[in-house]
Structure 1
Amino acid sequence: MAGVSGCLKYSMFIFNFLFWLCGTLILGIAIWIRVSKDGNEILSSGKSDINPFVAANILIAVGAIIMVMGFLGCCGAVKESRCMLLLFFIGLLVILLLQVAAGILGAISQTETKRILNETFYENVNLLSQTGNNGKEFRAAMTEFQNKFECCGLVSGASDWGSNFESVSQSCACEYSSNVCTTYKGKSVYKEVLGLVFSMVLYCQIGNK
């Protein structure tokens, strides 16, 4: 395919390679949540009657789709394959149409969605700050999750743990001086929270209510 811009081709390759990496990350985290004991505890911590594994399965599907799209974009650009590029284009178009449809539905039910989302989020935040046996397994699972994925808290960061922070501070410890670290009660902790991953799980649960 003479005349194809090398700059355009490799720019598309790099973009889609990053896209593929994001899909791999989502898929890896979703599978971990689906099969691990700690992940199952986090999913089933709420009081919803909906099967919590539905959300994890949806995340696995999303991660797999992103990986496939990234693969088609990478290979289509490097190999200059019209078939792969056409499939990539069709896939993006379908995703765009689904996003528009989801946006319309979300706008219609925005108030109710916000209410349910906030109630579910803060129900779990309360479990982090409680003491005794109530929410003990959830706090243990969250501590393990923070250790593995270098994050801290659910909504507001380390402060979500309340008086329990000192006992779990090691799982929040941020050892490197970078923009992902902040200081809380004299300790360097991750300022990142689980909002992105957790909100996707909750949103999926809300969609089934």
Structure 2
Amino acid sequence: MVAGCGKKILKYILFALNIVIFLLALAGVIGCAVFIAKPGIWKDAAKTIEKLEDLDSLVSPSTIRMGLYVLLAASVLILVISFLGCCGAWKECKWLLVLYATALLIILAVEVAAFVVAIVAKEKVENQAKEVLTDAKEKNKSAYEDLENLLECCGVNDGDPCINSTITPEPKIGCYNKILDIFKENYPLVLAISIITVIVEISLVCFACCLCTGLGEEVA
């Protein structure tokens, strides 16, 4: 058993945090499964957001489905890891806690690697984003026109003509830069969420390690 009141408190904190994460991940799994099973639901949900249904044709169903599969896989992964954390803390099992902490460290390493890659390959990512917008504009003009109306932008780059010649926003801001501006406006929120996520992950690893060191012999 864990020696000392401090270790007991640590055990219950680790268990409680993982229960919350487990429930959130479970909700994500159920939500993604429902959307995958019934593709029409996301369109109905989108109608609650002004004009969003106008962009249905801009994103292909296969892209949406792929995104749902990615979210489902991420939710399942978090579900499994949080389950390990719950069991390891409650049962005071060393090997479960070690496995849990290792999984979190791997996720942290992947997140750091993704951040570094995003910085190093920034120009390549920007070019690919512009290529996606250009391709969408050429293949589906009506949907891209809806995007221009929604974001009040024209074409892809600054100065490009609008698909609908009657729309002449001044200055003519390209949709790429408009989307970039929206991202920049929400960047503090995204950064805050990212920092909080990393802090929580590091804290969970520390809690698991501290609890593990306070245990006696490994409980099978």
For normalisation by structure 2, the TM-score amounts to 0.48
Aligned to 1:15: 17
Distance 1:46 1:33, change over 3 A: farther
Establish whether residue 38 from structure 1 lines up as the match of residue 46 from structure 2. Answer: no
Q: 1:82-118: per-residue Cα shift (whole Å, max 9, x none)?
A: 1211110111011011101111111233466468399
What letter matches 1:84 in structure 2?
L
Q: 1:143-180: per-residue Cα shift (whole Å, max 9, x none)?
A: xxxxxxxxxxxx9xxxxxxxxxxxxxxxxxxxxxxxxx
Distance 1:27 1:114, change over 3 A: farther
1:13·1:74 contact (CA, 8 Å) conserved in 2? yes
2:2·2:92 contact (CA, 8 Å) conserved in 1? no
Structure 2 stretches lacking a partner, 5+ long: 47-54, 137-142, 151-178, 180-189, 191-220
1:30·1:60 contact (CA, 8 Å) conserved in 2? yes
Establish whether residue 3 from structure 1 lines up as the match of residue 3 from structure 2. Answer: yes
Distance 1:98 1:123, change over 3 A: farther
Aligned to 1:79: 91
- Aligned-pair CA distance for 1:24: 1.1
Distance 1:47 1:53, change over 3 A: closer
**Pairing partner for 2:78 from 37, 61, 66:** 66
- Aligned-pair CA distance for 1:52: 3.5
What letter matches 2:3 in structure 1?
G
Aligned to 1:55: 67
Establish whether residue 97 from structure 1 lines up as the match of residue 109 from structure 2. Answer: yes
Q: 1:45-88: per-residue Cα shift (whole Å, max 9, x none)?
A: 43469644222111111000111111111111010011211110
What letter matches 1:66 in structure 2?
I
State how 1:98-177 maps to structure 2 within 5 Å: 98-110=110-122, 113=125, 116=129, 126=147
Number of aligned residues = 132
Distance in 1 (alpha carbons) for counterparts of 2:33 and 2:56 = 15
- Aligned-pair CA distance for 1:29: 2.0
1:46·1:124 contact (CA, 8 Å) conserved in 2? no
2:84·2:97 contact (CA, 8 Å) conserved in 1? yes
1:17·1:70 contact (CA, 8 Å) conserved in 2? yes
Output the aligned Cα RMSD: 3.8
Where in structure 1 do 4 or more consecutive aligned residues deviate above 6 Å? 40-44
Please state whether the residue corresponding to 1:101 is helix, strand or coil. Answer: helix
Structure 1 stretches lacking a partner, 5+ long: 130-154, 156-195, 197-209
Q: Whose helix proportion is higher, 1 or 2?
A: 2
2:25·2:75 contact (CA, 8 Å) conserved in 1? yes
Distance in 1 (alpha carbons) for counterparts of 2:106 and 2:9 = 27
Distance in 1 (alpha carbons) for counterparts of 2:145 and 2:79 = 31
1:34·1:40 contact (CA, 8 Å) conserved in 2? no
Distance in 2 (alpha carbons) for counterparts of 1:124 and 1:94 = 43
